[in-house]
Amino acid sequence: MDSAPVYDAELLDKVTNLAKRRGFIFQSAEIYGGFRSTYDYGPLGVNMLRNVKQAWWRSMVQLRSDIVGLDAAILGPSAIWAASGHLETFTDPLVDCKKCKERWREDKIDGVCPNCGSTEFTEPRAFNLMFKTQAGPVEGEGATAYLRPETAQGMFTNFANVLSTTRKKPPFGIAQIGKSFRNEITPQNFVFRTREFEQMEMEYFVPPAEAQEWYRYWVEARFRWYVDLGIPEDQLRLHEHAPEDLSHYSKGTTDVEFAFPWGWDELEGVANRGDYDLAQHANASGVALYYFDQASGERYRPYVIEPAAGATRAMMAFLMSAYHEDTIEGETRTVLRLDWRLAPYQIAVLPLSKKPELEGVSGEVLDMLRPHFMCDYDVTQSIGRRYRRQDEVGTPYCITVDFDTLNDRAVTVRDRDTTAQVRVPLDELLAHVQQRTGPRSA
């Protein structure tokens, strides 16, 4: 797991360009010169990001009976962030380069300004990463509020609500996907570190004596999730934090790391948070946050194991890992070898010609497949070009409707990875694709 992968220094540029050119990810506010570090997800990107989140939700919530979902508010009062420790400790050390005046995170620059090479900086200042705002219409009079810097606190503040409404007992988890905001000093590397991003977090509440066992379980399960969705094992590794590097709440943290073009970097952190969060919120709110086991009469405060992933960061890793250039019949093509569950479109329907005769039957194919798969429909350009365009965005199957279809009621199905083509009767088409992908509800 620890072997060094081969880094492709150009991969970041290639994926960034492809993402923009094909409508995955755009610079936000581009027509106004761009708003640094914020991105908009285009027609293909929004499909893929939804698929990443859906794959996580399916494995965390849909396929399990011990985890339930939550969608908590993004805006929160100071009280939450005072109790969680974020007001006091969620800071980065900020320094200014004395020569070029650029601002940096002191711990990220190795003593040399990445912009001008100077080694002279101001003294580090602690900079809180939370975005502060105000609730209420009159400036200066409303209550201070914060945009959440993590989704996790919603699960702790709703612990008692979820417990009493679902009747779960430890070990059980609460999962949430949603936006988080951090005023990062040095956002960088495309969507790897941005000020607005999406997290997929799950807080798993366990009897304290079982915490270590569940911590190991979730480290392994989360590593496997990325492998199952197509990232080769040699592009992933586990990195256990040394005790002196642990966050203020953690009794142990292991990161799942991906071989990004700039080196190994974090995809997700799995932490044993002990009872830190429930204890803090119980003390600050005065509400008892315990689990009471009626069978044994035992009352205890569960420990929490937290797998915390970034949805936008995971999407970037899936794109990078899937990006390939290969040669087909002497021609170089770009292909995203995305798992079908993540691809923006699973199917493209491509009538061989724009002639109206093919429209009716193409519509029939779309009506048959659309309830089950996200389908693209493209009638422009030559068929060869259209295959390349679909390969480049990772569409696993292209279905070509031609003039023979009108007689034999069959279509050609082309496989993205092998480029092999087979003729399939229309009445077997859905089963044919589902055999290769598995069923999927719309």
Which residues are near ligand GAP by CB under 6 A?
Answer: 150, 152, 182, 184, 193-194, 197, 199, 201, 266-269, 306, 308-310, 312-313
- The smaller minimum CB distance to ligand GAP, of residues 16 and 437, is found at 16
Return the half-sphere exposure (C-beta side, CA atoms, 13 A cut-off) of residue 260.
Answer: 21
Least distance (Å) between residue 181 CB and ligand GAP = 9
Least distance (Å) between residue 187 CB and ligand GAP = 7
- The smaller minimum CB distance to ligand GAP, of residues 182 and 389, is found at 182
Least distance (Å) between residue 98 CB and ligand GAP = 27
Name the residue number minimizing CB distance to ligand GAP.
Answer: 310
**DSSP H or E stretch at residue 347:** strand 347-351
Q: What are phi and psi of 362, to 5 degrees?
A: -65, -40
- The smaller minimum CB distance to ligand GAP, of residues 266 and 364, is found at 266
Q: Is 148 helix (H, G, I), strand (E, B) or coil?
A: coil
- The smaller minimum CB distance to ligand GAP, of residues 154 and 396, is found at 154
Least distance (Å) between residue 122 CB and ligand GAP = 23
**Nearest 5 degrees, angle CA 229-CA 270-CA 174?**
85
For the chain, the C-alpha Rg in angstroms (whole number) is 25
- The smaller minimum CB distance to ligand GAP, of residues 174 and 350, is found at 174
Least distance (Å) between residue 182 CB and ligand GAP = 5
- The smaller minimum CB distance to ligand GAP, of residues 179 and 432, is found at 179
Phi/psi class of residue 136: alpha, beta or left (left: φ > 0; alpha: ψ in -120 to 50)?
Answer: left
Least distance (Å) between residue 45 CB and ligand GAP = 15
Return the number of other C-beta atoms located less than 10 Å from residue 316's C-beta.
25
For the chain, the helix, strand and coil percentages under 3-state DSSP, each to the nearest 5? 35, 30, 35
- The smaller minimum CB distance to ligand GAP, of residues 106 and 392, is found at 106
Distances 217 to 206, 221, 244, 372 between C-alpha atoms, Å: 12, 6, 23, 33
The residues that bridge with 240 in the sheet, in sequence order, are 254
Task: Please say whether the beta carbons of 18 and 323 come within 8 A.
Answer: yes
- The smaller minimum CB distance to ligand GAP, of residues 314 and 343, is found at 314
Least distance (Å) between residue 169 CB and ligand GAP = 23
How far apart are the C-alpha atoms of 361 and 351, rounded to whole Å?
Answer: 9
Least distance (Å) between residue 193 CB and ligand GAP = 4
Task: Please say whether the beta carbons of 424 and 413 come within 8 A.
Answer: yes
